[in-house]
Structure 1
Amino acid sequence: MPLTRREAVAALCGGIAGHAAGQAWAQGSRSGRTIRIVVPYLAGGTTDLLGRMIAEQLTSTFSATVIVENKPGAGTTLAAELVARAEPDGNTLLMATSTTLAINKSLYRKLPYDPVKDFAPIALVAAVPFALVINPNIPVKTLAEFIAYAKAKPGLSYGSAGNGSPQHLGAEMLRTAAGIDIRHIPYRGSVPAMLDVAAGHVAFMVVDLQAALQQIRGGQLRVLGVTTAKRVAAAPDVPTLAEAGLKGFELVAWQGVMAPAGTPRATVDQLAEQIAKLFADPATQGKLTAMALEPLTWSTPDSYAAYIRREVDRWADIVKRSGVMPE
């Protein structure tokens, strides 16, 4: 049905207002604007690292004060709800993960936010491979030996970054694929869980490889395989879990940046441009590759939105196969 004259004028005025707000955002940022990047995990993990890289880029670009606020808890829903309810002015951003935007849709019967309707996608930034790591005092060297060890010790404990996290789902995928009986201990982030694996408080975990590289190289953790389809450049000697015996096993997550729904498109585009510039820089790409992260430079706000919708379906299948029940 065609718009009435009044509706057309209202739509035009709304578009002009949104564009003007976006232009004002860019200009105002040069005069002491404060931007918050909310990270749904504790400091020190992959998401926090990427958030701080983006904060540095936005600080230099817009001459703004950019702060990273770590707000872990409730499977990333605390941070997500905070940003979803924030003023849509481009000053509050979310470091969003597969958990926040895709996995939680299948894990919670009632979410305090809608992953599609409550956010304005800005940019995908990196893909995250995972690795199976164990306490080095466990007397095994290979995946096959570990599976035999776990079968001999039913109820072996494992850590994760929280209920429903990719780390949790990865371990549950391992449970079903290997036929082992294991016990989940959720933490508030990858780093504290990983440190408890190194200390022997829990036996193993599926962890984002970037967060564990230093401990693996230092001998505090033993790595048995990575979850990617191909070996990771930062750890070329580590086999994939599929190579090591779990045929078809693959688990890769992703990280991106979101703003509250209703953020003016001009503002979204300005932020997307600067984030894309950062991750297209060869120096940044080399740094991420060395840390076992894959830079993602192909996304636009629109393609990111479409990607999220596809990922909701993909992770729903992973959740179903893992046996994790919705809360």
Structure 2
Amino acid sequence: MPLTRREAIAGCGGGLAWLAVSPAQAQATYPNRTIRMIVPYPPGGTTDLLGRLVTDQFRSGLDATVIVENKPGGGTTLGADLVAKSEPDGYTLLMATSTTLAINKTLYRKLPYDPTKDFEPIGLVAGVPFALIVNPTIPAKTLPEFIAYAKSKPGLSYGSAGNGSPQHLGAEMLKSAAGIDVRHVPYRGSVPAMLDVIAGHIPFMVVDLQPALQQIREGKVRVLGVTTPKRVSIAPDIPTLAEAGLTGFELVAWQGVVAPAGTPRPIVDALAAQLAKLMADPPTREKLIKLSLEPLPPSTPDSFAAYIKTEVERWAVIVKNSGAELE
């Protein structure tokens, strides 16, 4: 997220006549056909919810037809590659995540797109906090008790949303910081992994807070801490892992909007202005907080571009330390 490490950050017309329109004319009349927001995850998840929130703003603010298309698969690479190879005309956008633009750069041996070269950043939307949860039968009610328990049970299993996901990397960070020996069990998404924690098939995981909070409140899982630098607004009773004993521990993913590289700057600025308007709207910020997300400070296309570069470097260290690698 763009804070210091503490604060840091409709139709296209008949026939092929539109092909004769100059770039300047196209910019002047933008948008005059349907805009697609590609979400590289299935419907119903955090990224999908945010994509639809942003889409609503673009629809009303630009008086445009804007639709969401879910293109999950390949750890977000399928949807991201589709956008990277689309015409840079402002009509195909990507609801991107830190996985798409930062983690995958190091995680994949052969990534079909370049996060820092193939996209035109528009703006950041929200930070995604995570939490350490355990099955309630685990005899540990605090982080120190859990670390002691894990040390007494070498090879303890944990679940994640998949190899190289923030949940996987977060647990590997925990493993390193706490000096515990744990074993990774990848799932196809956070929710299936969390359901197995609830069922007792795996004892713990690092999970995004948004889908877990209700389960925490109902006592189906026990939470030992959140991974943010400060307590999360929607759950101020949950301590941070840093407070609980892992000094300096921090894991926050983020979500933002990008377009294909080469998208004209006036179009990028028009989209960025709508995104800034959305993020400055108090009801929207309150809605994000209720979704267990962290509204981010205003960003610009340039500041987002700079941030992506620093995040690629930061996550590279975490990915390499985890040993995760995908083809």
Partner-residue secondary structure (3-state), 1:232: coil
Instruction: Report the counterpart of residue 226 of structure 1 in structure 2.
Output: 226
Q: Aligned ranges for residues 104-253 of structure 1 at < 5 Å?
A: 104-253=104-253
- State whether residues 72 and 189 of structure 1, in contact with CA within 8 Å, keep that contact through their aligned partners in structure 2: no
Aligned partner of 2:25 in structure 1 is 20
| Superposed displacement of residue 324, structure 1 | 3.2
Unaligned runs of 5+ in 1: 1-15
Residue 216 of structure 1 aligns with an amino acid whose one-letter code is I
Match of 2:286 in 1: 286
Residue range with higher mean Cα deviation, 234-243 or 192-201: 192-201
Q: Which residues of 2 match residues 267-306 of structure 1 at below 5 A?
A: 267-306=267-306
Counterpart contact for 1:242–1:249, Cα < 8 Å: yes
Equivalence map 1:7-156=2 (5 Å):
17-26=22-31, 28=32, 33-156=33-156
Q: For 1:220-268, what per-residue CA distance to the aligned partner results, in whole angstroms no more than 9, with x for missing partners? A: 2211101112211211111111111212211111110011112222221
Contact 1:42 1:48 (8 Å CA) reproduced: yes
Relative to structure 1, is the Cα distance of residues 65 and 215 closer, same or farther in structure 2, using a 3 angstrom cutoff?
farther
Q: Which runs of 5+ in 2 are unaligned?
A: 1-20
In terms of mean alpha carbon deviation, does 49-58 or 177-186 score higher? Answer: 177-186
How many residues are paired up? Answer: 307
Aligned counterparts of 1:204 and 1:18: Cα–Cα separation in 2:
53
- The TM-score with structure 1 as length reference comes to 0.87
Over residues 108-153 of structure 1, what are the superposed CA-to-partner deviations in whole Å (9 max), with x where a residue is unaligned?
A: 2221001011111111111122111122232321112222222233
Q: Is the 8 A contact 1:19 1:264 kept in 2?
A: no
Contact 2:100 2:115 in 1 (8 A): yes
Q: Give the conservation status (yes or no) of the 8 Å contact 1:131–1:206.
A: yes
Q: Judge conservation of contact 2:279–2:298 (CA < 8 Å) in 1.
A: no
- Give the TM-score normalised by the residue count of structure 2: 0.87
- 1:58-86 alpha-carbon deviations (Å, 9 max, x no partner): 22233434332222222211111111112
Structure 1: 4+ residue segments shifted above 6 A: none
Of the structure 1 ranges 196-205 and 74-83, higher mean CA displacement relative to structure 2 is found in 196-205
Aligned-pair CA distance for 1:325: 4.6
- Matched with 2:316 is 316
- Tell me how far apart the structure 2 counterparts of residues 279 and 166 of structure 1 sit (CA, whole Å): 24
- Structure 2: distance between partners of 1:326 and 1:84: 20
Contact 1:37 1:95 (8 Å CA) reproduced: yes
The 1:243–1:173 alpha-carbon spacing in structure 2 relative to 1, beyond 3 Å, is same
Per mean C-alpha deviation after superposition, the further-off stretch among 254-263 and 316-325 is: 316-325
Distance 1:70 1:187, change over 3 A: farther
Distance 1:192 1:92, change over 3 A: farther
2 CA distance for matches of 1:39 and 1:218? 30
Instruction: Please say if residues 127 and 253 of structure 2, whose CA atoms lie closer than 8 Å, have aligned partners that are also in contact.
Output: yes
- The question of whether the paired residues in 2 share the 8 Å contact of 1:34 and 1:65 is answered with yes
Structure ranking higher in helix proportion? 1
Q: In 2, distance between residues paired with 1:203 and 1:23? A: 57
CA contact (8 A) 1:123 1:299 kept: yes
